[in-house]
Amino acid sequence: MRAYSKLWTSAVAACMATLILAALVLPRSFHLTALSDWIQGLLLLSGAISFLPNAVQSRGHVRAFWMLLSTGMFLWFSYQAMWIYFELWLHKEVPDIFAGDIVIFLHIVPMMAAMALRPHAPQDEYSGRLRTLDFTLLMFWWAYLYIFAVMAWQYVVPNPDAYGDNLNFLYLIEKLAFLLTLLVAWMNSKSAWRVFYANLFGASLTYAASSYVANWALSHHVYYSGSLYDIPLAVSMLWITMIGLWSLGCRANIKRSGSASHGVWLARLGMITVFSLPMFAGWALLDSALPPRIRSFRLMLTLCAALVMGVMVFARQTLLDRELLRLLNQSQESFANLKRLQAQITESEKLASIGQLVGGAAHELNNPIAAMLGYSDLLLNTPLNADQQALATRIGQHGRRTKSLVASLLSFAKQSPATLSPVNFTTLLHTAVRLSQPQWKSLNIEISTRFQPDAPPIMGDSNQLLQVCMQILNSAIHTADQQNSRGLTIIYEHLEGIATIDVFDAKYDSYDTVSPLSFGENSSLETSDPLSVLGLSACRGMLQQHHGTIIARQTKEKGFSIRVEIPIFPPAPAALPAPAVPVRWLSQPFA
């Protein structure tokens, strides 16, 4: 405990000891009354001030909690100050019908408001607004009850007996409601918050019981200020000061916990208060003992209260409707996202199944293809005439073409995520041209290249991009042979951050003379010859991992062309949007 807390505790303990000693030793006198009133006032002021350091060091609705507790204690101190004014300054008893009695009734109201904030439990902004409206409805109902039951006998038809009886009864009901609220908070909290609520419940129960005993003694004319009946009251005041000092010393150990059921019950109580208004109006009408002025006053008061509370209920329902509409929109959006995700998963499963089927078929095809290539090589090594030699060569070429397609199938079936690193695409293209040289040399096809000399490297997977280059060249060589074209042109250049590879036959003067067709997810490759669709499909899968595209076109008049476009620096993955759901308050200690 800090030094000033110890000093503070010693001071209030000395005040309490002085009050007890005076009640035991001093007879009933003005000096005893003055001493008792001043000590009780100091204890109440001490309790009000003890909550302020917690309010200063907290924030949000937790700060409001401590401020409301302190406000309730200051109202209690204000009522005690009125007693001091009457008994010590005016030297007379407080009147039976006293306008300041509303202060002692209202001092519990901000404390009940503090309990409605539930500082021990996390909450979001929406639930906080709803609880504020529900609590405002309840507090307005308490004010209505006071005016209905007490102030009617204070101003409309003054009656000290009815005024006192109704005030005491209504104040007792209010204290019991506050005790019940504290008990619920005590049962639903944990750790240090549980200890805090238990002590506050004990102090409030002591005050409620001792005030009831004091009222009984007052009605039997045995009570006087400074008597032993004031000791339990002073103990409850001292207890509250100790609670404030203790909570300030253990803020770091107090964690939030709780459930959302409190808000539901608060809303139900708010609805009960609205439905209770007709019952009070019926009571005013059916009570024949009431003076007509009281009856008219209560009926008019109930009508005005129903109007004001109806507006509050309408505001609450409007806020609730907006929140429900927002949640409905979020649910619809989440459902749509879920359907899209389900469709993507289904498509992925289909592609996985196709990949397994293609991979198995490719492995089965490799064996007969290897046999065909072996026999074609044997034929080429035997004495054959010119026509037979050409046919054997053609068999070997188509066998190797088929083997290349099978390799593409395997690449398609076993695609793995691309590992991006700087790649010199010019080197890859030269390598692909050299590796395919036996094929285009044997078919008497000339390949001319025009590569940009200062082309910078691109970010990509060298293995996948080499497969793409090989497959495009194989497809272009095969198509050129089918169309009796003996020349291919390969152009590589950078255009505005895009690496472009154009492959076209000798019938083209430039690739720009063609209006190509996109080979994407929602388009088809419209050609008179298949152009090795499976091979280009495998290329498309690998290019998609590089955010690239492949475009192809073939006509009988102008021949064929293939274009590949790859961003030099692929775009960064888009950040996922934040989830649209109400955000809970972070669990924090008293803050």
Beta bridge partners of 552: 517, 562
| Ranges of CATH 1.10.287.130 domains, the chain | 322-414
pLDDT digits (tens, 9 = 90+) for 488-520: 899 998 888 888 998 888 765 444 444 343 333
Token digits for 115?
């309990």
pLDDT at 586: 34
| Ranges of CATH 3.30.565.10 domains, the chain | 417-571
Q: Which CATH number applies to 3-258?
A: 1.20.1070
Dist. CA 374–CA 372, nearest whole Å: 5
Dist. CA 477–CA 487, nearest whole Å: 9
In this structure, are residues 560 and 533 in contact, taking their beta carbons and an 8 Å threshold? Answer: no
Name which CATH class applies to 322-414. mainly alpha
Query: Which amino acid appears at position 435 of this protein?
Result: L
In this structure, are residues 167 and 200 in contact, taking their beta carbons and an 8 Å threshold? Answer: no
pTM of the model: 0.56
- Fold (topology level) of 417-571: Heat Shock Protein 90 (3.30.565)
Helix (H) or strand (E) holding 562: strand 559-567
| Ranges of CATH 1.20.1070 domains, the chain | 3-258
Dist. CA 435–CA 305, nearest whole Å: 93
Nearest to 429 by CA among 384, 473, 482, 378: 473
pLDDT at 256: 52
In this structure, are residues 251 and 191 in contact, taking their beta carbons and an 8 Å threshold? Answer: no
Nearest to 563 by CA among 580, 543, 579: 543
**Hey, CA dihedral for 380, 384, 388, 390, is it positive or negative?**
positive
Q: Which residues of the chain have pLDDT under 50?
A: 126, 252-254, 258-262, 509-534, 574-591
Dist. CA 452–CA 337, nearest whole Å: 45
Dist. CA 421–CA 62, nearest whole Å: 53
